Amino acid sequence: VMAAAAKHLTPVTLELGGKSPCYIDKDCDLAVACRRITWGKYMNCGQTCIAPDYILCHPSIQSEVVENIKATLKEFYGDDVKSSPDYERIINQRHFKRVKSLLEGQKIALGGETDEASCFIAPTILTDVSPDSKVMEEEIFGPVLPIVTVKSVEEAIEFINLREKPLALYVFSNKKQLIRRVIAETSSGGMTANDVLMHSVVPELPFGGVGHSGMGTYHGKFSFETFSHRRACLIRDLRWELLNRLRYPPGSMEMMHL
């Protein structure tokens, strides 16, 4: 798009995407955190630009995270997800096949059922995912949630920084210091701590990406600024011409010193 716009010198604001990491600290209310993550991840069947793409957490809480998400899914969609009126489907066959192929060779802790006829993919969680696997390459944009284990927040920050800048970043922790540290040591389009998606809902906050996740921002006042040209107008007087003598030639060292 940008290359096409370049031909006509049209300015662009690009809202792209990326893999939005979601770091869960050991010190946090896991039940609440997982409920919010579940809501954000499986909303519209994971097909939102700012859905938490994958989870980073300590190996010791991995199974607890899975259990919590499982419990929340039952709360939200009932026992049979497929028949729930609130659970969506994948947008088309092409993406259905794409997302389904990401499951190959993965350890499926929950879900994994698919139905090609209705483009249905059950809410799925993958555990002990390898950072080099296919599901960790591109934005998933589907109801598949990989969990990558990290030993510490430093490892999580390093993991995030090794990759392209995401559109959104999520941190769950009771420790405000830790949250601030993650914000300071990483870069992303936007971020929400202790929740998901909500920073895009606040109209006073600029919404947009950085690096590979996009350029420019909008929402609320920022939309107005983005799509307008702020024209600098300086209206002077024709009087007080004497003061201008300083800038006119012929130049001289006295003037330079002044």
**Cis? peptide before 203, omega within 30° of 0:** no
Q: Which of 15, 88, 155, 185 is catalytic?
A: 15
Pick the stretch among 10-18, 63-71, 136-144, 149-157 that binds its own copies (CB under 8 A). 10-18
Is 15 among the catalytic positions?
yes
Question: Is 2 a binder of its own copies (CB under 8 A)?
Answer: yes
Q: Please say which residue, 110 or 205, places its beta carbon nearer to its own copies.
A: 205
Cα-Cα-Cα-Cα dihedral of 89, 91, 94, 96, to 10°? -20
b/e sequence 122-141, b meaning 16+ C-beta within 10 Å: bbbbbbebeeeeebbeebbb
Question: Is 71 a binder of its own copies (CB under 8 A)?
Answer: no
Min separation Cβ 38 and its own copies, Å: 8
In angstroms, the CA 215 to CA 127 distance is 33
> Interface mask (CB under 8 A) for its own copies, residues 110-139, using x and -?
------------------------------
Q: Please say which residue, 19 or 35, places its beta carbon nearer to its own copies.
A: 35
In angstroms, the CA 84 to CA 120 distance is 12
Question: Is 220 a binder of its own copies (CB under 8 A)?
Answer: no
> Interface mask (CB under 8 A) for its own copies, residues 20-59, using x and -?
--------xx--xx-xx--x--------------------
Closest of 137, 57, 50, 56 to residue 102, by C-alpha: 137
Min separation Cβ 101 and its own copies, Å: 26
Question: Is 249 a binder of its own copies (CB under 8 A)?
Answer: yes
Residue 123 is classified by DSSP as -
Cβ neighbors of 213 (< 8 A, separation 6 or more) are: 16, 17, 18, 164, 165, 166, 167, 188, 189
Question: Is 258 a binder of its own copies (CB under 8 A)?
Answer: no
Residues linked to residue 145 through DSSP beta bridges, in sequence order: 125
∠ CA 15-150-172, nearest 5°, is 60
> Of 162, 224, 229, 243, which lies in the binding site for its own copies, with binding defined by CB under 8 A?
229
Contact present, 219 and 207 (Cβ < 8 Å): yes
Question: Is 178 a binder of its own copies (CB under 8 A)?
Answer: no
Cβ neighbors of 15 (< 8 A, separation 6 or more) are: 49, 167, 207, 208, 209, 214, 218
User: Known catalytic residues?
Assistant: 15
> Which residues in this chain contact its own copies in the complex, by CB under 8 A?
2-3, 5-7, 9, 11, 14, 16, 28-29, 32-33, 35-36, 39, 75-78, 84-87, 172, 174, 176, 179, 183, 187-195, 198-199, 202, 205-207, 210-212, 215-217, 229-239, 241, 244, 247-251
